[in-house]
Structure 1
């Protein structure tokens, strides 16, 4: 290992992570593990790249020096970012899996018990088949989750980095709320969010902001598509800020009209759920207990809304296509996992189908503490009501149309069509 002081965390943090992984390797009676998940490689080494669609892996022997297999181009990331000393890069014309097999043989692992992440998105079945048919003297065993056991509870320095990501998340959300105006497009709102996150020190998130308006809020995981926001509509925002690949996320709702009774009940129901989380959730509770509590509050509403998903999920290190660690632990019924200090969750007591055609949300990212939980954020949770917020050029266009209408302008039908066409 190269002892360096320019990584995301102190060198000692990576030593601790590696030592704890090796303890789990020994517990499973393995001689080495092949790690292919980008988040797990980043957690162990500080390595990151957007080029993870090409095969890459970190091999951690029980006793000997770890080494990495990467595409030749990506080897520069190993050198620039990590403590890893030994690499075996392969050219674009080469065979990545054969390079892995050759390296395992080179380092005396060709006839050992080797764990691999069988369920990794980035180690497809055909590559696993090649390993099995080529490395015939080794015993290959599934070790999926062996790194995640360490990732699930964040250390003090990880929480500090997540707090940095929360600064970007809040900056993006505030900018998004400010950009919500009648006549603005969802793209303009999304652009304002992204620009603010980056100005606040945030980095490329695993998912761009979710921005939907009016009827589009009922479409799950829809991104901005150029629709123009209309008067009286609401805008659903979900923002995930990123710093050094660690994420925090939040949902908020903006009303470009008056607060209705139904939307007020939705707001108060979600706030009640979040308050219950902050006063009740603590170490020792089961994931199912928390989900039942949140679900019962949301489903007690009288405005026709439902919580149709899990009520939260682990969040932390992430690469596209998702910012969540929900595959490690999700808050849903029947999950008996126990909450422990250092676990971090995006809590999502959102409401789908308010009055049958509206989705709105207020969410929070929390960390489980020794005696409860706390938020990474300071923003107000209420819906933001902006009944008179109109994009300036929209006001100007309306004024021109009014004058032309009074003068009986022959261009009136065309201009009205232009105003209302948009991309809705």
Structure 2
């Protein structure tokens, strides 16, 4: 994709809200209560300017006009959101009870889906105001709400992946030995922005023994020759996420380091080959994990094989044992097996993929072989 994509329109957001309300009804829910966060952004285009304790909630129910309840001081910003013309605004002022203001919109005996990231005090406020209502998390009730991407969303995720690929190709050219992990992490962040990212979410640089911690924050360890270095980085471009991992080596690797990397690369290939419509999410995890287990490193693969990606870099669905949700064309998620040897080194290789009508398409295309850096 070249240039900036056309923005989503009010009609796009209306279609999403209508679909969400209908899906909730099909799931036996009286409606949805959507808090500020990725669900609200995806459904309305509205992102509050600050994380506030004041109640802000989108109320969706089949057969009803969508209503966004906001504090009065936030109403002007909410009214300028891309999807604002597809809903009604209801504001409440400080000193008033926001739950009483919202209650007339809700079925007094209903069961509602509620955003996973809703404040506990807001959920308790609704339960106090409407004691006969009950609630279930959106991830549990509607795991497919944002999972299947349309063509415009896929275009954005592919562009984000391409920008992350360009970042990796450039980071291999910088000096690693003698510099701190934080120095390389800063280079990664600068490159992501250079290639179009508006937001950098993470820049993991795990050198030597630090690479054995999958979510190691880049620290002040000085990278040395002979280190394996795990690189995991991503953020948002045009509102959609990138997330990729590659593992590099400073100088030539020894035989065990090369073997472990080869095993992870084979596991990642096996996980990608398992992606096809109708397969279960857990099948991707099983395929990748089997390779690592058979090679004798099963106890050192200590996380799920993948997670969904979209308006956030981590979201449902999850590629993990026990998740029987079937894969559907348009789903986007990571395939990222790893081996982590405590006190020594780690290896992880990650691509974002999307399910196609007949298999899989990788949205990262940089080489997966062990790269040698200086």
TM over 0.5, yes or no? yes
> 3-state DSSP class of the match of 1:259?
coil
Q: Name 2:89's counterpart in structure 1.
A: 87
Change in CA separation of 1:204 and 1:112 when aligned onto 2, cut-off 3 Å: same
* Whole-angstrom CA distance in 2 between matches of 1:276 and 1:213: 26
CA change 1:114–1:82 in 2 (3 A) is farther
Instruction: Give, in angstroms, the shift of residue 89 of structure 1.
Output: 4.2
1:345-384 counterparts in 2 under 5 A? 345-353=333-341, 357-384=344-371
CA distances 1:125-147 after superposition (whole Å, capped 9, x unpaired): x33222222235x6344363455
Q: Residues 268 and 73 (structure 1 numbering): CA distance in 2 closer, same or farther, change over 3 Å?
A: farther
2:279–2:327 Cα contact (<8 Å) kept:
yes
- More strand by percentage: 2
Aligned to 1:408: none
The answer on whether the counterparts of 1:17 and 1:150 sit within 8 Å (CA) in structure 2 is no
CA contact (8 A) 2:202 2:232 kept: no
Task: For residues 26-45 of structure 1, give each alpha carbon's deviation from its aligned partner in whole angstroms, at most 9, with x where no partner exists.
Answer: 32455542112511111111
Distance in 1 of aligned mates of 2:299 and 2:225:
23
The more displaced of 152-161 and 26-35 is: 26-35
Mapped pair 1:173 → 2:168? yes
TM-score, structure 2 length as denominator?
0.87
- Structure 2 residue runs without a partner (length 5+): none
Cα offsets for 1:43-75 (capped at 9, x unmatched)? 111122462354421112333322223345544
For residues 366 and 213 of structure 1, the distance between their equivalents in structure 2, rounded to whole angstroms, comes to: 26
Cα distance in 1, alignment partners of residues 214 and 73 from structure 2: 37
Among 234, 241, 257, the residue aligned to 2:235: 241
Q: State the match for 1:339 in structure 2.
A: 327
1:289 to 280, 283, 289: 283
Cα contact 1:67–1:87 (8 A) shared by 2: yes
CA 1:83–1:253 in 2, change beyond 3 Å: closer, same or farther? Answer: same
Hey, what's the Cα distance between the residues in 1 that align with 2:68 and 2:365? 41
Contact 2:208–2:345 (8 Å) recurs in 1? yes
1:105-134 residue CA offsets vs partner (Å, 9 max, x unmatched): 3x5x474636241x722231x332222222
1:140 and 1:294 map into 2 onto residues whose CA distance is 39
Cα deviation for residue 167 of structure 1 reads 2.7
CA 1:45–1:239 in structure 2 vs 1: closer, same or farther (change >3 Å)? Answer: same
**Alignment correspondent of 1:113:** 110
Counterpart of 1:418 in structure 2 is: none
Query: Would the alpha carbon gap of residues 53 and 162 (structure 1) be closer, same or farther in structure 2, given more than 3 Å must change?
Result: farther
Per the alignment, residue 218 of structure 2 pairs with: 224
Aligned to 1:40: 39
Which residue matches 1:56? 56
| 2:336 and 2:349 in contact (8 A); partners too | yes
Larger radius of gyration: 1
Look up the SS of the partner of 2:173 in the other structure.
Answer: helix
Counterpart position of 2:78: 78
- Residue equivalent to 1:128: 123
SS in 2 for 1:9: coil
Distance (Å, rounded) in 2 between the aligned partners of 1:131 and 1:302: 51
Label 1:143 to 1:268 Cα distance change in 2 as closer, same or farther (>3 A): closer
Partners in 2 of 1:379 and 1:53 — Cα distance?
Answer: 41
User: Could you tell me how far apart the structure 2 residues matched to 1:267 and 1:154 are?
Assistant: 32
Q: Taking structure 1 as reference, are residues 34 and 381 closer, same or farther at Cα in structure 2, changes over 3 Å only?
A: same
TM-superposed deviation, 1:180: 4.4
How far 1:296 sits from its partner (Å)?
0.9
Offset at residue 305 of structure 1 (A): 7.2
Deviates most, 253-262 or 52-61: 52-61
Q: TM-score, normalised by structure 1?
A: 0.78
* 272-281 vs 260-269, greater mean Cα deviation: 272-281
Change (3 A) 1:10 1:24: same
> Structure with the greater relative contact order (CA < 8 A, sep ≥ 6): 1 or 2?
2
> 2:112, 2:136 within 8 Å by CA — same for their partners in 1?
yes
**CA separation in 1, counterparts of 2:95 and 2:175?**
50
Distance 1:180 1:237, change over 3 A: farther
Give 1:194-343 correspondences, 5 Å limit. 194-205=189-200, 207-301=201-295, 306-318=300-312, 323-325=313-315, 328-343=316-331
